[in-house]
Amino acid sequence: MAIIDEYIPIIDLETIMPLNQKSIIETLEPEYFSKQIHQAKRFYRISEKQKPGSGQESQVIAGGRETCSSGYLVSRETFPYHTIEFITRGHGKLILNGAIWELSPGTIFSYGPGIAHEIKNDTKEPIEKYFVNIAGEKAAYLLTGELSLSGKVLHTSTPHSLLATFEELIHFGLFHSPWSDKLCSSLVDVLIYKIASSALTHGDPVTTAFTTFQRCRNYIGAHYIQFRTLESISEACGISPPYLCRLFQKFDHQSPYQYLIRLQMNHAADCILEKRLQIQEVAMSMGFEDPQHFSRTFKKVIGISPTDLIRQSLR
């Protein structure tokens, strides 16, 4: 497929950033972080100049991505922070202010001070979810006042857009810079408005299609090294190439092949920077017989050539 020329470069900063530039905030996780998880990428940050909940701006306290264990169960009568959770995989049950809801991919719900909630996992299909804990007057106003999202269960018509914003929140929540708090604050406001603008009634038929999309996307993410063509991806996922493309067109900002190439080129950048492998060696390992073809593809995705990437890292 001749689509690589249309590719918009998207760089995974955590993958290609040299180790000496990865200044991660190392803090003890709060007690309310669940231990009933199989895998997680979470952050916890409180401004040194500001106590949680003070100030007019939205303040991101914590957030992350969690793959829950089969016995995952959270039950609280209240919670000190306004919280948004987004289900991307699996199934479960939610009791929110006494009402029972089914959790499935694409479900979004919000709770906070004074809102009782219980989140229970499906033992056969554990949930994967994003979450963010927020304080500050603006967040409270948006969630409980202007947009009235707090205490509600919704579905989204643009899950890929929410995924991207959550991933950015995680990145800047973990990466320490003078602007991290401001970036997180702005991103969470954007996230709230995105949710409001894309909200669907819970139980919309989009759920089944999004479940299939997420399954295929996760499979590509776990096995991207072995794939070379759209057809090989479709065969492994058990659906036709046109349907796979339609799913990505509906729920993502890129085609499945573009997603594959981005993963492969980020992996190639990691091999060049961290493992110090030769460019030709990396090209061969990625299935490129022509190193020049590999370099052109690499530059279209990463934004610079492999040679320039090495030069910049040496500086």
User: Which CATH number characterizes residue 52's domain?
Assistant: 2.60.120.280
Residue 254 falls inside a structural domain: yes
195 shares its domain with 236: no
| Distance, CA of 181 to CA of 190 (rounded, Å) | 14
Choose one of 200, 224, 242: the last residue of a domain: 200
Structure tokens at 115: 């809102």
Position 51 scores a pLDDT of 54
Position 48 scores a pLDDT of 41
- Say whether 95 sits in a helix, a strand or coil: strand
Position 203 scores a pLDDT of 53
Residue 167 falls inside a structural domain: yes
Residue 26 falls inside a structural domain: no
Give the residue, 80 or 208, on which the prediction is more confident.
80
The pLDDT confidence band at residue 21, using thresholds 50, 70 and 90, is very low
178 shares its domain with 218: no
Mean pLDDT value of segment 199-227 = 78
196 shares its domain with 214: no
Choose one of 180, 200, 220: the last residue of a domain: 200
| Count of structural domains within the chain | 2
Query: Any idea what the CATH number is for the domain that residue 288 is in?
Result: 1.10.10.60
Give the residue, 233 or 148, on which the prediction is more confident.
233
Which residues touch 167 (CB under 8 Å, ≥6 apart)?
Answer: none
Q: Provide the mean pLDDT of the chain.
A: 83
Choose one of 169, 184, 200: the last residue of a domain: 200
| Distance, CA of 49 to CA of 47 (rounded, Å) | 5
Residue 69 falls inside a structural domain: yes
Give the residue, 263 or 175, on which the prediction is more confident.
263
Which residues touch 231 (CB under 8 Å, ≥6 apart)?
Answer: 241
193 shares its domain with 240: no
Per DSSP, the residues of 4-56 read: GGGPPP---HHHHS-GGG--B---PPPTTS-S-EEEEEEEE---TTS-TT-SS
Is the whole-model pTM more than 0.75?
no
154 shares its domain with 251: no
167 shares its domain with 310: no
Question: What digits encode the pLDDT tens for the residues 120-149?
Answer: 998 888 899 999 999 999 999 999 988 889
Backbone conformation region of residue 205, classed left if phi is above 0, alpha if psi is from -120 to 50, else beta: alpha
Q: In terms of DSSP bridges, do strands 99-103 and 107-111 run parallel, antiparallel, or are they unpaired?
A: unpaired
What phi and psi, each to the nearest 5 degrees, are found at residue 29? -70, 145
Of the candidates 63, 62, 59, 37, the one whose C-alpha atom is nearest the C-alpha of residue 50 is 59
Residue 25 falls inside a structural domain: no
Residue 23 falls inside a structural domain: no
In this structure, of 45-54, 202-211, 299-308, the range with the lowest mean pLDDT score is 45-54
Per-residue pLDDT for 113 more than 80?
A: yes
Domain that holds residue 9: 4-13+207-314
Q: What Cα–Cα distance (Å) separates residue 119 from each residue in 2, 77, 111, 153, 293?
A: 45, 12, 11, 12, 49
